[in-house]
Structure 1
Amino acid sequence: MQTTTKTPWDFLSKYKDSDFSGEWPTVPEMFFITTKRFPERPCFTDFEGEGGSKNTLSYSQVEQKVKELASWLTEKGIQKGDRIAVSGKNSPQWGLVFLASLAAGATICPIDYALHEEEIKNLLNTAKPKFFFVDEEKFPTFDAQNAEYKVYSLSPKFPEKYVYSLKPNSIEHDFRSAKEDDLAAILFTSGTTGNPKGVMLTHKNLVSDAYIAQTRMDIFSTDVFYALLPIHHAYTMQAVFIESLSVGAEIVFGKSMAVSRLMKELREGQITMLLGVPLLFNKLLAGIMKGIKAKGPLVNGAIHAMMWISYIIKKVFKVNPGKTLFKSVLKQANIQSLRIAICGGGPLASSVFKIYNEMGIDFVQGYGLTETSPIIALNPISRFKIESVGQYFFPYMEMKILEPSADGIGEVAVKGPMVFKGYYNMEEETAKVFTPDGFFKTGDLGNLDSEGYLILAGRVKNMIVTEGGKNVYPEEIENAFQLFTDIAQITVRGYIADKATKSEQIEALVYASDDLFARLNINREASPLDESVKSEIEKIISKVNKELQPYARISKITMLEQPLEMTTTQKVKRGKISSNE
């Protein structure tokens, strides 16, 4: 650990040797240290009480449950290094299984609950867990099978196998059997059919990343994090779940992005830290701007003028007047309690980023991959750059650009304590993603400015090369459409315009929004490819094309009857798009 300057983890020196022995604590050691510091602080909260009422467990209450379940697992034969799988909606029960499995010395294998049962079975066959904890909808299916793993429930609807009902004979067990370099989690990123790719993360990977990320952002025990995105994903698991536990903050578990439930939980949870993906923040902003526009042109114009002034004051004088100026607007959107909003999981349009900051929300972008635990860049609150996904964490890690072009763009590569151990049982795949000097190749294209801020361009495998030799990055074009509510989904790719020269031009696959069909009074089911819908989309694309370089302009539009398949962080699964050659 760095000791020459003050760091967010300096306090750990008080607990060195007595509560942990490594360079970094393990995940359960970190949690038990936090419980010593803040035993009565709220830890896990949900709205699953009677009539949607609020339930909260303190850190000491969660600690008791963790030790009970960890002891029960040990008594049932779990040994250090065994694997335990969990799949379900965001919940305190999910969090309990995660922590207790690690406290028992096991490796946790979180599985996407949105996958089909056959896909989940494939991941289980790869992970080979001893136990599988699963939510109520899928529990009967897996419980009925004669599998090699034992199945238990995250839901009280199955009381005999409910996780809260599993009581040990004793809780006098060793909760520190795992060491910092031991495997903590296997996260499956893709390949749910065939041979799945499992990212192996150690305790050091997860804990070091949690604390090092705090060198770019202060978080406190008084913060309330909202776990809305699926918690099995590295982004929510780290940036919400583990970060909260590292400082004694409260975690509110959200199970649905339904607007009514989202608004209730934002309001009653008094959320201070909202982490989301572009889709979430775009939807939230669309509702806010619709409300402002409805006040009439005079008020609309005045508010936009105030927003512009607010942004200048914030950027130049480092003072944030927006929270006061737009108090009523923020209150109506149930985000008046927000201290910080962070967007990850994909690039956000600069215009969206700017509007949130204009209205007084400290809104920043971050960057990372599952293989990097995942956070490796974050915009500092007072020194954010709209065009950047963040400043990397020097001197605690290294980042460089491989084979940069004339404009400095190349593949982003990183080295540091948060970089993963490798892919599970895939030595050749692991070797491919590391350079000879030990840097992990992210597969992302970007460049670094003089202050270590990363500006992303796109994915290496998605880059389009035009006839003139120009590099076009689909993600940059797609970002230009984020505030157009008539478009629900747009995916840009290259297509072969001339088979003789093999030159590529730009095609847009577009799935129009339900709002557009409703506005045009067209029945989507009866006429999914109506010409008047396409005409509206063409107008939007023509408008955006004028802002693009000639070689990056969209020359072909393909309207979709059905949306393309998305990941849990709401990115299109490009690998599932059929070839257009």
Structure 2
Amino acid sequence: MAVPIDTSFLASMPANVAVQFFDRVTATPDAEAFRFPRGEAWESVTWKQAGDRVEALAAGLVALGVQPEQRVGIASGTRYEWILADLAIMCAAGATTTVYPSTNAEDTVYILGDSESRVVFAEDDEQLAKLTAHRAELPHVGKVVTFDGRADGDWVISLDDLAALGKELLAEQPDVVRTTSQAIRPDQLATLIYTSGTTGRPKGVRLRHSSWVYEGEAIRAQGILSESDLEFRWLPMAHSFGKVLMSTQMACGFAAAIDGRVDKIVDNLGVVKPTFMGAAPRIFEKAHGRIVTMQAAEGGAKEKIFQNAFKVGLQVARLKDEGKPVPLGLKVQHGIYDRLVFTKIRDRFGGRVRFFISGAAALNRDIAEWFGAAGITILEGYGLTETSAGSFVNHPDANKFGTVGPVFPGSEVKLGENDEIMIKGPGVMDGYHNLPEETARTLTSDGWLHTGDKGTLDADGHLVITGRIKELFKTSGGKYIAPPAIESKFKAVCPYASQFMVFGDERNYCVALITLDPDAMAGWADENGMSGASYTDLVRSQAVQQMVAGYVDDLNTHLNRWETIKKWKLLDHDLTVESGELTPSMKVKRNVVEDNHKALIEEMYA
């Protein structure tokens, strides 16, 4: 049963993000705020140290002439300096415009131009090159501040140069940043996040200071996190999921270890030993696939113990979930398997994880239950960039698999036409930047946001996502198909899967395009006498075709007759952001994939 959460926090929230940040600095000045890699070691800073650096950088932006709500871009991967730049922008009353480092030059210039960004933080020479090559198209950009790139002392300055400018101003006007921050209205623009979208030009989502403050305070009010937690943050800070974790950190006061290098996640978890981490489902799919394939490679008794452990683990987890007692014999077995198998899996993630939070896309229930059986809780949540990320999240003491939890306190949810999920509350955006017609289509006059997702609400108020309205299609036989549900099932069944895309609109059966995970396939190749073979050669081999056929057959046993995959093709490459087939937040651009492989799809219907 859902427990009502006190919403009195709504009346006492900090006025804006800058005040929220400085309140945190004042409350716990000597507590650890951030740690980050410097070479092979990790460096740590307190809230007071971070506050001093942010204040100097914010004063530097004021010295450069940044006015309230003027946009300042950040083109960088996730790192400590990203956090400093973002906080400095908001403490100077500016508005952060986020740019993924993988965004091509054309879209980078479009985002910075459409937002009329006055200053841009650029991570390195690669990001600088995008700006300098198109300087004539960026008339509003008066200064570029680089983290690691070459500064020319004129248009491009270093982070230290900006801090030095700020210190000069602070020597003359010691209260300039605090005065500026206290004058920021709650409804002022704090962030402009351009959704990469699966079609068309990116749209700038306008998010207020009050929205970010609300997000952090709403999570704190739910009692999920506290000062004693330690977060590992690798998620793109250019994405709203990364940004909401920052707001939550300021509200709750825990420390965060920051490193955006995706290839270092597993190594970093072992070193940092966090108590929680936010991630997209792909991370859990990859981890699940890697552990399962490694164990299968061992074979023999070890593989049998592994499989039996999960049978017992799932039994125990389901009994506990149903509130039933665990029989003594089963409890003893579980204890043995926990020592032999589950402890080792938990140790791969640092050994201290209380839970992971999954968002940005749907998590397959089987994978969530598999982790749960190993003693690793994954709390699924849901939200959009247009709702400042979080709108729903499961709670550790009331985690319901297959749902994204109850709506945040202070927000409302209802189901509109065709069961469309509609959200209203302090986290909802102002609108799309320079796109009044798009805004009017998405936001109703009384503040309800059309999400474009279908869902249902259970008796406890937990939301179940049933599909994306635009992604639903109808077969020629009149049956509706929700591709994401089938696609996530395949990823749970096949540990080598990367992407599985279902098509069949107005056709008499469903087909699929499949890509495999290159890392997982390198391991498969080593175990199957094909070491060193290229990805393309592997997926074209008879052995891999037969292996995938087995997994598709397995998938079909879990589907309704009209959903089954009659034909499929393996692509000779995995989808990437660089190829334009994935968004920077790793969502498949279904229309691009369909266009790129139209002939292959048609062939399956020939």
Q: TM-score range by the shorter chain?
A: 0.7 to 0.9
1:250 aligns with 2:255: yes
1:419 alignment partner in structure 2: 428
Aligned residue type for 2:497: I
Specify the code of the residue in structure 2 equivalent to 1:111: V
Distance between the aligned counterparts of 2:385 and 2:66, measured in 1?
26
SS class of match (1:225) = strand
1:233 maps to 239
Closer, same or farther: CA 127–193 of 1 in aligned 2, 3 Å: farther
CA contact (8 A) 1:228 1:255 kept: yes
Letter matched to residue 169 of structure 2: S
Corresponding residue of 1:18: none
**Could you tell me which residue of structure 1 aligns to residue 549 of structure 2?**
538
**Where do 1:203-214 residues align within 5 Å?**
203-214=209-220
Segment drifting more, 524-533 vs 317-326? 317-326
Q: 1:251 to 1:203 in 2, by over 3 A?
A: same
Conservation of the 8 A alpha-carbon contact between 2:310 and 2:370: no
What's 1:563 paired with?
574
**Partner residue in 2 for 1:16:** none
1:554 maps to 2:565: yes
Cα deviations across residues 413-466 of structure 1 (Å, max 9, x unaligned)?
111111110000000000011235431110111111122111111111110112
Q: Identity over aligned residues, as a percent?
A: 24
Match of 2:317 in 1: 311
The unaligned stretches of length 5 or more in structure 1 are: 14-22, 405-409, 498-503
Superposition pairs for residues 175-324 of structure 1, below 5 Å? 175-190=181-196, 195-238=201-244, 240-258=245-263, 261-290=264-293, 294=298, 296-312=302-318, 314-316=320-322
- In structure 2, the partner of 1:367 is 382
Query: How big is each residue's C-alpha offset from its partner over 1:230-254, in whole Å with a ceiling of 9 and x where there is no partner?
Result: 111001111x222112211112112
Cα distance change of structure 1 residues 505 and 24 upon mapping to structure 2, 3 Å threshold = farther
Amino acid at match of 2:402: E
- Provide the aligned C-alpha RMSD in A: 2.8
Q: Distance in 2 between matches of 1:234 and 1:117?
A: 22
C-alpha distance after superposition, 1:147-203 (max 9, x if no partner): 431111022765962213422213220222321101100000036997531000001
Aligned to 2:126: 138
Question: Quick check: 1:66–1:99 contact (8 Å CA) kept in 2?
Answer: yes
In the TM superposition, what is the alpha-carbon distance from 1:73 to its structure 2 partner? 0.9
What letter corresponds to residue 229 of structure 1 in structure 2? L
CA gap 1:524/1:309 in 2 versus in 1, 3 angstroms: closer
1:487 CA drift (Å) = 2.3
1:474 aligns with 2:483: yes
Matched, 1:32 2:22: yes
1:143-182 matches, cutoff 5 A: 143=132, 145=135, 147-148=138-139, 149=141, 150-155=143-148, 158=151, 161-166=157-162, 167=164, 168=166, 169-171=168-170, 172=174, 173=176, 174=179, 175-182=181-188
Which of the numbers 504, 510, 514 marks the counterpart of 1:510? 514
- Offset from partner CA, 1:371-400 (integer Å, 9 cap, x none): 001111111211111111222125x11111
Structure 1 residue 399 corresponds to structure 2 residue 413: yes
Q: Which residue of 2 aligns with 1:97?
A: 85
Looking at secondary structure, tell me which structure has more helix per residue.
Answer: 2
What is the distance in 2 between the residues matched to 1:546 and 1:309? Answer: 22
User: Alignment partner of 2:427: what SS?
Assistant: coil
Instruction: Give matches, 1:116-135, under 5 Å.
Output: 116-135=104-123
Cα distance change, pair 432–331 in 1 and its aligned pair in 2 (3 A):
closer
Are the equivalent residues in 1 in contact too, given 2:80–2:258 (CA < 8 A)? Answer: yes
TM norm structure 2: 0.84
State the distance in 1 between where 2:354 and 2:541 align.
44
Q: Which moved more, 1:145-154 or 1:417-426?
A: 145-154
Unaligned stretches of 5+ in structure 2? 576-580
1:572 is matched with which residue: 588, 591, 603? 588
For the pair 1:490 / 2:500, whether they are aligned, the reply is: yes
Residues of 2 paired with 1:542 and 1:122: CA distance?
A: 45
Contact kept? 1:136, 1:154, Cα under 8 Å: yes
- Given residue 237 of structure 1, which amino acid in structure 2 is its aligned partner? K
Relative contact order (C-alpha < 8 Å, sep 6+): which is higher?
A: 2
Q: Which residue of 1 aligns with 2:578?
A: none
Aligned to 1:337: 352
In the TM superposition, residue 578 of structure 1 has moved relative to its aligned partner by 3.4
Q: Tell me, in whole angstroms, the C-alpha distance in 1 between the residues paired with 2:505 and 2:549.
A: 18
CA–CA distance in structure 2, aligned partners of residues 9 and 33 of structure 1: 15
In the aligned structure 1, how far is the partner of 2:480 from the partner of 2:417?
14
**CA apart distance, 1:24:** 4.4
Answer whether contact 2:215 2:390 (CA < 8 A) is retained: yes
Distance change >3 Å, CA 400–CA 229, structure 1 → 2: same
Distance 1:451 1:526, change over 3 A: closer
Q: 1:34 to 1:480 in 2, by over 3 A?
A: same
